[in-house]
Amino acid sequence: MRQAAALWVVRLDDPSCSDADRAAFEAWRGESFEHEATYEREAVAWARIDRVRALRPGLQRPDADLLAATPQPQPQPRLSALSRSPWARGLAASAAMALLVAGSLSFGTSTAYATAIGERRVVVLGDNSRIELNTDSKVVVRFKRGVREVKLIKGEALFDAAPDARPFVVKAADAVIAADGSAEVAVRLRSDGAAVTVKKGAVDVDPVRADAKDDMRLTAGVAAIYDSRGARSRVVSNAEIDRSLAWRQGAIALNGQSLAQAAAEFNRYNHRQIRIADPSIAHLRLAGYFQTTEPTSFVNAVTSAFPVSASEGADGAIRLSRRS
Amino acid sequence: MMAQDDEDRRAWFRREILPLEPDLLAYARRFCRDGQTDPEDLVHETFARAIACKTWREIGNPAAFATRVLRNCALDALRRRKVLTITAVADFERIEPIDEAPGAQSIIESREELQALADAIAELPTQCRRVFTLRKVYSLSPDEIAVRLGLSVSTVEKHLVKGLRYCSEKLGRRNERKSKADERRSWSGIRDHDAKR
């Protein structure tokens, strides 16, 4: 549409513009306020461009040939403005996050790191590997002879294994996740089993209790789940990985999850729980970006966008029901 | 009389609303962090709604008015979706209205604008830049340009449209760097906020 508006601007400014053209323009403009506004935008820009006449002497150098119209070498057109996604910015910001440096660990001893509900924590190990703990999580780090071992006891964490001669091993829900070389892998415990997402490098997943056929080798961009039903993996997009790791920026990124799933997600981060009192709204699908520790602004968003109302339960929980 | 009214309304739109584009774009971006709504579309719709306003004479604070319209556009865009995105709504309380007195700043920026325009023209592909410069700097008519460069009038027109679109895009985005800084600020704000808990 801006293209069409721009064409009208150019055409109407042409001294040889015909009356028929002017009438056609009036008809086009009268079609909608959108046309009208778009035309004004382009017309104003067109008029503002006249200001460059003030620069005429300055322009003459690159365009000295212009009135003579001799050919020039083709410059590289730079017509696309690079716009970085908010995600890229968010990830860059996370790099600036304050690090909590743990003391170096001696042979055989183990150290536990834990987070409370709503808390996040970054631990840098003696070998420069990093562990980012999400809300309500716990790991035990144990550097044994020849192996770096971390056990995920509770919750969710991102492991960024630094290159080292010793293998980096994460134990979670009866599985051993071994990284060779440097790797970045997120592990989240589920009620049954765990979910593993590989962001960088590659890992071998060996569910101890499962059949040998459930061993998996996962490379970057693959997510897997293992539980009592066995193990399965799938390829995931970078965007999906970023969304699942939104917690690193203190956010929850929803992309079509149900209200029930969204509420469960918020409940991981907050003492103030969200309860869905009405099954008929549990399946509403949402997308969006929210702060983990702000269940109320999430609830406000839901109630203003859906026919849902919120009330406070006797226990202080937020109860969601269908607005009558 | 009707035509005069329309002309006044358009003049008001040009004078009060259009110069807000960079601010509105920066503001719109904050409603679009999930990447599902295009901030340009929001601004576009805001303009269409603003120019349609018959009671424009009663608007004392155009920036506040445009901000409100954009907010409503953002909400409506959310409501239209099958899978509802409520991103923006979540941030609504947090998002501050744009500066209500952008006038002074616009004056300071006008020199920069001139430079930005010159840069934009310099970035056009050669033939397009030539046609555009002949028209806008040397004020030749499309017919004259066509003869001089051995092109058809419709090709000249095409180049002019392309040049205009590129420049108007640049003018509208002039505050982009500023808005990126804003976004960074809001990110650090979020972290500070979290850290206090």
B7 touching A, CB under 8 A? no
B194 touching A, CB under 8 A? yes
- If you write DSSP's letter for every residue of A238-307 in order, what string do you get? HHHHHHHTGGGGTEEEEEEEEHHHHHHHHHHH-SS-EEE--GGGTT-EEEEEEETT-HHHHHHHHHHHSS
Nearest CB among A16, A52, A81 relative to B117 is that of: A52
What pLDDT, on a 0 to 100 scale, did the predictor assign at position A70?
Answer: 35
CB contact under 8 A, B84 and A285: yes
* pLDDT for residue B73 is more than 60: yes
Residue of B nearest to A47 (CA): B136
Mean pLDDT of chain B: 75
Interatomic CA distance for residues A208 and A171, integer angstroms? 10
What pLDDT, on a 0 to 100 scale, did the predictor assign at position B85?
Answer: 54
* pLDDT for residue B169 is more than 50: yes
Nearest CB among A55, A289, A290 relative to B118 is that of: A55
Residues 6 or more apart in contact with residue A305 via CB below 8 angstroms? B75, B78, B79, B84, B86, B89
Q: Say if CB B70 and CB B42 are below 8 A apart.
A: yes
The total of other beta-carbon atoms located within 10 Å of residue B104's CB is 9
CB contact under 8 A, B90 and A289: yes
Interatomic CA distance for residues A243 and A254, integer angstroms? 7
Residue of B nearest to A302 (CA): B86
A170 touching B, CB under 8 A? no
**Segment B182-190 long-range contacts (CB within 8 Å, at least 24 positions apart):** B182/B26, B182/B30, B183/A86, B183/A89, B183/B29, B183/B30, B184/A89, B184/A93, B186/B30, B186/B94, B187/A89, B187/A90, B187/A93, B187/A249, B188/A93, B190/A249, B190/A250, B190/A251, B190/A291
CB contact under 8 A, A58 and B118: yes
Q: How close is the nearest chain B Cα to the Cα of A195, in Å?
A: 24
Place of tokens 């003696």: A126
Residues 6 or more apart in contact with residue A145 via CB below 8 angstroms? A107, A108
Q: How close is the nearest chain A Cα to the Cα of B192, in Å?
A: 11
Task: Provide mean pLDDT across the span B173-192.
Answer: 41
Place of tokens 């009663």: B58
CB contact under 8 A, A89 and B79: no
- For residue A69, CA distances in Å to A66, A143, B157 come to 5, 74, 18
CB contact under 8 A, B85 and A288: yes
- For residue B188, CA distances in Å to A27, A87, A98, A128, A278 come to 50, 14, 12, 25, 37
What pLDDT, on a 0 to 100 scale, did the predictor assign at position A26?
Answer: 93
**Segment A92-97 long-range contacts (CB within 8 Å, at least 24 positions apart):** A93/A249, A93/B184, A93/B187, A93/B188, A93/B191, A94/A248, A94/A249, A97/A122, A97/A248, A97/B191
A49 touching B, CB under 8 A? yes
Q: Please report residues of A whose CB lies closer than 8 A to that of B194.
A: 120, 250, 291, 293
Task: Provide mean pLDDT across the span B135-153.
Answer: 87
CB contact under 8 A, B83 and A66: no
CB contact under 8 A, B93 and A297: yes
Q: Please report residues of B whose CB lies closer than 8 A to that of A87.
A: 35
A89 touching B, CB under 8 A? yes
What pLDDT, on a 0 to 100 scale, did the predictor assign at position A15?
Answer: 87
Task: Provide mean pLDDT across the span B124-146.
Answer: 87
Best of B83, B95, B115, B140 to substitute, by most chain A Cβ atoms within 10 angstroms, is B83
A59 touching B, CB under 8 A? yes
Instruction: Give the DSSP H or E segment for B46.
Output: helix B39-51
The maximal CA–CA distance of chain A, rounded, in angstroms, is 91
Place of tokens 């555009």: B132
Q: Say if CB B87 and CB A68 are below 8 A apart.
A: no
Pick from A114, A199, A130: which is nearest to A163 by CA? A130
B3 touching A, CB under 8 A? no
Q: Please report residues of B whose CB lies closer than 8 A to that of A38.
A: 44, 47-48
Q: Say if CB A235 and CB A227 are below 8 A apart.
A: no
Q: How close is the nearest chain A Cα to the Cα of B110, in Å?
A: 10
Q: Name the B residues in 73-132 with CB < 8 Å from any A CB.
A: 75, 78-79, 81, 83-94, 113-114, 117-118, 121-126, 129-130
CB contact under 8 A, B114 and A54: yes
Interatomic CA distance for residues A278 and A282, integer angstroms? 7
Pick from A189, A187, A192, A138: which is nearest to A160 by CA? A187
Q: Please report residues of A whose CB lies closer than 8 A to that of B29.
A: 86
What pLDDT, on a 0 to 100 scale, did the predictor assign at position B72?
Answer: 85
Q: Please report residues of A whose CB lies closer than 8 A to that of B139.
A: 53
CB contact under 8 A, B168 and A6: yes
Nearest CB among B35, B84, B123 relative to A305 is that of: B84
Residue of B nearest to A81 (CA): B170
CB contact under 8 A, A93 and B187: yes
Nearest CB among B130, B168, B188 relative to A42 is that of: B168
- Please give chain A's pLDDT, 324 residues, in tens: 888 999 999 999 998 889 999 999 999 999 999 999 999 999 988 988 877 766 554 444 444 445 443 333 333 333 333 333 343 333 333 333 323 333 333 445 789 999 999 998 888 888 889 999 999 999 999 988 788 999 999 999 999 999 988 899 999 998 999 997 789 999 999 998 999 999 999 999 988 765 666 788 999 999 999 988 888 889 888 888 988 998 987 888 887 788 999 999 999 999 999 999 999 899 888 877 778 888 888 888 788 778 889 999 888 899 999 987
Residue of A nearest to B76 (CA): A305
Q: How close is the nearest chain B Cα to the Cα of A156, in Å?
A: 19
